[in-house]
Amino acid sequence: MKKALSKIYVLIILLYLYVPIIVLMLMGFNESRYNSMPFKLSFQWYQALAKDETLITAARNSLILAFITGIICVTLATLFILGQRFLSGRVKSVFDSVSMMPMSIPWLIMGLSLLLLIRALNLDKSMFFVGAGHVVISLPYSLLVLKARMASMDQSLEEMSASLGATPFTTFRRVTLPAIAPAMVAGGFLSFMISFDNFPISYFLTPSGISTLPIEIQSSIKFGFTPEINAVSTVIIGISLLCLAVTGLIMGSSLKSMMGKGDK
């Protein structure tokens, strides 16, 4: 394969990946109500979005939910990887597979099984269960990031600190915590993003009258939409990219130190 041919191939794939998303973003600035040509610059859809109470409330709900999910996931994941070292044999293998399980089960199934749990307990749908569902599906991602960091950490530092007479808490605060802090932030952002983007869990569990951004988009698609959805989508993409950039910057440096000279 010649170099030019390779470049053309890469370009075609990237076009397939990006063109619809770019079109969506551009059409948010187009006057046409039906996302069609010709293109006439207009900010009316963003103006409409700024006044749309439903979408703004949904955005706020999504952000709060994602924030809480992120915090809880990081806390649980950090405790888990700190405690994991003391596990052994069967318990360890069971815990390991349970902690990764939500990654392999379709979210559709996770969502409806929680819905059936709510019914079995004779409760009403509530944001508590939406949050619990989000935590459960995002937790494996925080865990993965933290586990990777923990695996690359030099364990002898902790042993040294302990043998020099530091209490376990001091060792944690002075040695372990600074080493895993970047992974905690990255894991938190990752969980935030998973929750912020999640549709299936929210769709099954959100009580009527409350909604999140993905739910609003879905119902607009179902019941008639205007390019206001393009505007809100563009905002969502912006938020996701911001999270990704932060995670990437933090993890990038620790990934590089993890791989050593291997990369370059």
Partner 1 sequence: MLTWPAMAMLFVFAVFPLFIMLASSFQSDDGTAGIVLSNYARFFSKNTYLKLTGRTIVNSLLVTVISLIISYPLAYIMAKKLKGMKNVIMVLIIIPFFTNQLVRVYSWLIFLQDGGILESLLNSVGLVHGSLGILYTKTAVIIGLVHAFFPYMVITIYMALERMDNSLVEASSCLGASAFTTFRKIIFPISMPGVISGIMLVFVPCLGTFVEPRILGGVNGTVIGTVIEDQFFEIYGWNFGAAIAFILLAMVLISMAAISKWGKRYEE
Q: Footprint of partner 1 on residues 13-32 (CB under 8 A)?
A: 13-14, 16-21, 23-24, 27
The interface region with partner 1, picked from 53-61, 156-164, 178-186, 196-204 by CB under 8 A, is 196-204
The amino acid at residue 153 is M
Q: Report residue 41: phi and psi, to 5°.
A: -60, 130
- Contact yes or no for 185/30 (Cβ under 8 A): no
For partner 1, the binding residues in 124-153 under the rule CB under 8 A are: 132-133, 135-136, 139, 143
34 scored as a contact of partner 1 (CB under 8 A): yes
Count CA atoms within 13 Å of residue 239 on its CB side: 20
106 scored as a contact of partner 1 (CB under 8 A): yes
Among 45, 49, 61, 107, binds partner 1 (CB under 8 A): 107
204 scored as a contact of partner 1 (CB under 8 A): yes
What is the nearest approach in angstroms of partner 1 to the Cβ of residue 108?
A: 5
Q: Which CB sits closer to partner 1, 16 or 164?
A: 16
For partner 1, the binding residues in 148-187 under the rule CB under 8 A are: none
Q: Which CB sits closer to partner 1, 50 or 221?
A: 221
Q: Report residue 153: phi and psi, to 5°.
A: -75, 145
Rounded Cα gap, residues 95 and 85, in angstroms: 12
Q: Which CB sits closer to partner 1, 18 or 43?
A: 18
How buried is 32 (Cβ within 10 angstroms: 0-12 exposed, 13-18 middle, 19+ buried)?
Answer: middle
Fill in the DSSP letter of residue 35: S
Among 63, 68, 71, 117, binds partner 1 (CB under 8 A): 117
* Tokens linked to 14: 């990237």
The interface region with partner 1, picked from 4-12, 152-160, 175-183, 253-261 by CB under 8 A, is 4-12
Of the candidates 174, 161, 143, the residue with the CA atom closest to the CA atom of residue 79: 143
Q: Which CB sits closer to partner 1, 70 or 214?
A: 214
Q: Which CB sits closer to partner 1, 183 or 217?
A: 217
Q: Enumerate helices (H) and strands (E) in the chain, giving the number of each.
A: 12, 0
Q: Can you spell out the DSSP letters for 57-124?
A: HHHHHHHHHHHHHHHHHHHHHHHHHHHHTT--HHHHHHHHHHHHHHHHS-HHHHHHHHHHHHHHTT--
Q: Which CB sits closer to partner 1, 36 or 164?
A: 36
Q: Which CB sits closer to partner 1, 57 or 84?
A: 84
Among 52, 144, 162, 199, binds partner 1 (CB under 8 A): 199
251 scored as a contact of partner 1 (CB under 8 A): no
